[in-house]
Chains A and B, each alone.
Chain A
Amino acid sequence: MNMHKDNMTNQNDINLIDDDMISDPVMEAQIAQSITDFLNNRVQHLKPEQEQRLSAARNAAVDYLAEQQAQYSTANRIAGHGNVLHWFGQHVGNNIEQHRFASTALLLVVMLVTFFAVQQFGFNNNLENSDAFLLASDLPPEAYADKGFDAWIESN
């Protein structure tokens, strides 16, 4: 192992890589690291259309999750109101009819509430982070808003 290190520093040549050296775990990790460095650099240069596809796919998955969670919370709320529906249903009378009615209504409600919840959520999510982070940042908000400060920095 020491001998290999000497070789490396003296000759600096990839042709010296032989089976022995690669079977050394440290060496293996080093070669792997160099390769992944190149790969990481590579993924920073994707084609614009590929980037777009990826972010569209990401958004679709995220929207789906948001919708699911909205539906889940709505379903919980509906369960709490089950008694009202039940009471309603009894007044309508027919048990089967009641069931059909309740499930249709439930479906409609879930759809509606999901729609609004998703809209609402999507809006909030767009903000990424609220003004709270601006207020807590290193500079006071006045510093960001003061155009005189901008001009002064530029002239300095």
Chain B
Amino acid sequence: MATPKELSDFLATVERRAFKQTAYAVRDDHAALDIVQDAMMKLAEKYGDRPPTEFPMLFQRILQNTMRDFWRRQKVRNMWTSLLSSFGGNDADSEDRDPLETIDVGDDSDEPSIQLARNQTIQLIEHALEKLPARQREAFVLRYWEEMDVAETAEIMGCSDGSVKTHCSRAVHALALELKKQGLDKLGLSNAIFDRK
């Protein structure tokens, strides 16, 4: 049985990634925060008696389910907005924000130009992630960002190991091509990729 301290420690280590992961999926920061909050509470409510080693899997599964519920509600709402906008005439969902303005840049000690380049890279990566098909993004996030193995990812996603591998490689493929299209070689990602070994 997990102690409240163990739950707290676990959540503190995953919450930031969980939030961004959700934000990429639902493309709405506020909704993402709500979803993460719900998922945290559900973990405490339903699985507080489990050992903390099981938390990463459980939490991811809850998070994915909560997101799925969000999609379901979202579909209904979108239907309404499109119905309404066909009457009213103005398109409500044109939220084409300038990504460079909305990112909150921490004070890294790096040179400003490097920091700027890195922020642009981040913007492009985030954008590319948002554009991925949901299943591919899910596979990519779980397998590579949450560093789960293929079997765990498959269990959370409710599919076979084989299709996890397929989703993952398609996701990386699509991300790489998208980034290449955006000319990321000028922004330093190519170095980031090729310098590592």
A contacts, CB < 8 Å to B: 8-9, 12-15, 17, 19, 22-23, 25, 28-47, 50, 53-55, 57-66, 68-69, 121, 125
Contact = CB atoms under 8 A, between A and B. Distances in A.
Given A15-B185, A60-B41, A125-B5, A45 B118 contact: no
Given A50-B29, A60-B37, A65 B2 contact: yes
A104 B43 CA distance: 30
Interface of B is mostly: helix
Given A62-B4, A64-B48, A68-B45, 8 more contacts: A14-B184, A22-B176, A31-B176, A35-B125, A58-B15, A60-B41, A68-B48, A125-B5
Contacts of A14: 176, 179-180, 184-185, 189-190, 193
B36 A57 contact: yes
B106 A45 contact: yes
A75 B20 CA distance: 40
A22 B105 contact: no
B7 A38 contact: no
B92 interface: no
B12 interface: yes
Contacts, number: 150
Contacts of A22: 169, 172-173, 176
25 contacts: A12-B191, A14-B185, A17-B176, A22-B169, A23-B173, A28-B169, A31-B172, A32-B140, A32-B143, A34-B189, A34-B193, A35-B125, A37-B192, A38-B118, A38-B125, A44-B106, A45-B106, A46-B19, A50-B29, A50-B33, A58-B8, A62-B7, A65-B44, A66-B4, A125-B5
Interface residues of B, number: 56
Contacts of B73: none
B153 interface: no
Most B-side CB within 10 Å, residue of A32, A53, A62? A62
Contacts of B12: 55, 58
A12 B190 CA distance: 7
B4 A39 contact: no
B194 interface: yes
Contacts of B17: 39-40, 43
Contact of A34 (B3, B43, B185, B196): B196
A120 to B, nearest CB: 13
B193 A57 contact: no
B36 A54 contact: yes
A33 to B, nearest CB: 7
B100 to A, nearest CB: 13
Contacts of B140: 32
B41 A39 contact: no
In the A-B complex, list the 4 residue pairs whose CB atoms are closest, starting with the nearest.
A57-B37, A14-B190, A45-B106, A43-B16
B175 interface: yes
Interface in B19-54: 19-20, 29, 33, 36-37, 40-41, 43-45, 48
